[in-house]
Chain A
């Protein structure tokens, strides 16, 4: 595409915000927030343009490529490293997700006063890394962006967080670096095994690049390495702790997009490049994913901190993503596999938006009360009806109630799972009961019930602060009623060259 390099432009939005912020004196915090708001909005607009321009007809029409708007610039030619950006249906969706969470995250932190400049610098770096991962087609660049996205979490939590913040930040960093330690040898082995010529995923994904034996050996490194970031059971421990400690917008980014990087890595690199390995391991990892779904729900049932509940609900919901991915890994695009894939990607998007809504609602209440213990609240729906309603909407979405985006995502994953791994599919569906149980518990304790007079004076969400939340609810409802808008795009990437199960 020799026209405007729109993908680089998206990638440059956080960079520009970063650079401009550097030259703004730290006192002018309003200006810093404004700059971030503008560039975040720009990235949303650009992502929507990409979505609109993406031609979903590639499967029907041989002239259209699956990966579009490609930019390819050699970077370190001696090592075969290229700067390659391109999107397929999956990354189109996830790029928009990141942009939306970026924008709403900036808006949610509008009241921040502590070290505003530094905060937004780190946040821009994080967003930059996430965009890079979603857009890269070069494994080296992918890994580079991946690390860029992960590392700012440490200062963001350790400085601006709450509740055992140093501990949580350190735990998160160590877990994620342990994941990276598995990834790095895995990725390098891909490079050498393929002849040391290129890191280009499109070339590496060609059939016959890797022997089945090699695939079976290397796949777990990549799956587990990425899986840590996706909050896979049993390596999820960092995630709820991190959520609890992180400030609102960081929680939003963390659960909203960062965990998706893990799942995206599994899909884009592990499954796409090593389909035979993926098929070999699919059942094992599907079992772990199903355990995660049910286990996360049970642990969530015992939590007393709002954010811990949401943190463990993320473990449970990311289990659904991973289950969908493994359904796809097991049978490829065959019977049920594409349902699993479509559902998994849809769930990444829906869960990202939903969790962002959750954290921004809880953050709104925490900012005023400095309390997140659900036992200390009651009848919030009467005290702050709008703020509580946002929480309820997120909760209903989390329970998979029809009319919200998650319903479709979960439906697709479950349809695929029942077809491919029948017992696991049934267990995962049964998990819906426990999801309902822990959500209802929070609803019953904090949102409904006799009110706690201590919080009678809370301010409700005003029109301005409602804005980011209204955007998130709008997205959830839009895709709840018109799932095809998103599924058409995702599905256009659904069938990959897949030697494993075919």
Chain B
């Protein structure tokens, strides 16, 4: 089959799956699930084949035209889309299969699979978009699908609130994206992404208009990729079923923001000021989020904070100028983060609790070999300890910061240290519980949500993602020691990777190991108190556990402001406009009454009045005459 056929199959299979699963077979759960997984398999296979096939000319069909502008719907097949598309395809398929096990008992299973297909369709159409309009449309639809999935358990008020928050917070960023895309279109007079990139390629100083456009686009990225100050929706988004979190945090939704940065990398490189601001925001976010993870006990929440932090890392690499570094970390992170969420889901599924202390106490790690294996592979990769993949990509990012200010570099190291620390804290608390140390009471286990040992449908994807993570690690390690000429991901992207010497890599390795060792002494060592260093500083712990009070600050300022304006508007409406209109009406009626009272029917009065008027008229006319 030609690549065009694959490209079309890639996009239309999930759309068809969505329609069939949600509209036709919603109540026949297993049929719906089978259709969606079949569609997911087609997309995954097509995306891999296309990726292997290498860049091809864009496939597009005229969709419609407005005025002189022709809008096409199509598939752009360059190195950036090919790699991301394959990542999305493979991870989504893994998660769909995993959901077979995880959602087996859910009464809304058919609907769930329908939404998963919608999510995949939106994300793939976004990634492969050849023009600005398609980019924007599917960016929005990715947001819609996330909303539907986060709020999937709609009876749960917390899930509904989280879905609402995710939608509104990302929409704040989308204002910037929307205006930015309109301005970009006006500035370049084309919707075609390749032409736009050609225009900006190589120009280092684009001037104020370029800065504004880049800043507005970055606003959209801040919302979608949960960067400070719009990061607060992502930790709450774990209210959705765990497979959704796995998808949301790895290859879709939050990845869309980073991908947009990579997609328009040439444009951002031409906007020096915005690029520097983005670098600062990303670094700050990376540190901020990892401090929150240090004290969290909810396994999914720890992973959510780590996502925010790692997204910060990706954007640091991209903003520092290295397309490869950011993109590489996006890829490695997508696999190990999806893996970690599936692992977390398996533990939660088994133990009925999100609390890592409670999971550890139940001794789940002893019986769940595959899950524990996945936890260790994913955790080591996340912590950035060689020889697993996270190390290589994080190392590329730190290397790309060479030109940046020392503060940024120090920030990157700090975030890397914290990452290793909280990751190993999680691993040790889950795998090496110390029943003697009742330092903190475990949260109550919820027997309603405990479903027993994971099935093959859950273990299979965990194993597969572990193997992919190991494979990427092996390939990168091979490139490093010279067994291969170039890192395979770098060669797909057509970018050069930075070949670091051992001396250059030493600080990063040392930092990561230091974090892991600290975690070992506090949590892993036999007889350790399992109380973190932060937990011994109650003030700091409270600050971090309350996420620096950022949510509270928003609630008391921005949310209060918006509701205040709404209340004032409502008051103006009821008392001002409505009340005013009523007053006018009342006054009209009252004046009518007054006049009516004069019409009493007493003839004398009328005659008298007429006489006075007549006299006045005579006098008046006499004067004039």
Contacts and interface: CB of A to CB of B under 8 A. Distances in A.
Interface of A: 171, 174-175, 234, 236-237, 241, 295, 298-299, 301-303, 338-339, 342, 379, 381-382, 396, 401-403, 407, 412, 414-415, 418-419, 425-426, 429-430, 432-434, 436-437, 440-441, 443-444, 447-451, 482-485, 487, 491
B167 interface: yes
A482 B64 contact: yes
Interface stretch (B137-145, B267-275, B515-523, B528-536): B137-145
6 contacts: A237-B577, A295-B569, A432-B175, A433-B172, A448-B160, A482-B64
A491 B157 CA distance: 46
Interface string B160-193: 1101100110011011001100110110000000
A435 to B, nearest CB: 9
B551 interface: no
Contacts of B66: 339, 342, 412, 483-484, 487, 491
B171 A433 contact: yes
A449 B175 contact: no
Nearest to A403: B141
Given A432-B175, A433-B172, A437-B168, A379 B154 contact: yes
A381 B154 contact: yes
B560 interface: no
B164 A440 contact: yes
B618 interface: no
A302 B65 CA distance: 40
B164 A444 contact: yes
Given A299-B573, A379-B154, A414 B175 contact: no
Given A402-B140, A449-B155, A302 B570 contact: yes
Contact of A484 (B64, B164, B175, B182): B64
B168 A440 contact: yes
Contacts of A425: 179, 182
B63 to A, nearest CB: 8
B137 A402 contact: yes
A179 B155 CA distance: 47
Contacts of A426: 175, 179
Chain B interface main SS type: helix
A234 B580 CA distance: 12
B183 A418 contact: yes
Contacts of B172: 433
Given A436-B171, A482-B64, A302 B566 contact: yes
B562 interface: yes
Given A298-B565, A491-B66, 16 more contacts: A241-B578, A298-B570, A299-B570, A302-B569, A382-B154, A407-B137, A415-B185, A418-B182, A419-B186, A425-B179, A429-B175, A429-B179, A436-B167, A440-B164, A441-B164, A443-B160
A434 B562 contact: yes
Contacts of B578: 237, 241
A73 B285 CA distance: 72
Kindly name the residue among B141, B178, B578 whose own CB sees the greatest number of chain A CB atoms within 10 A: B178
Contact of A449 (B63, B154, B167, B182): B154
A237 B580 CA distance: 10
Contacts of B562: 298, 301, 434, 437
A95 to B, nearest CB: 22
A485 B65 CA distance: 10
A484 B65 contact: yes
Contacts of B140: 401-402
Contact of B567 (A236, A302, A444): A302
B455 interface: no
Contacts of A414: 178, 182
B12 to A, nearest CB: 13
Interface in B86-137: 136-137
Nearest to B151: A448
A382 B155 contact: yes
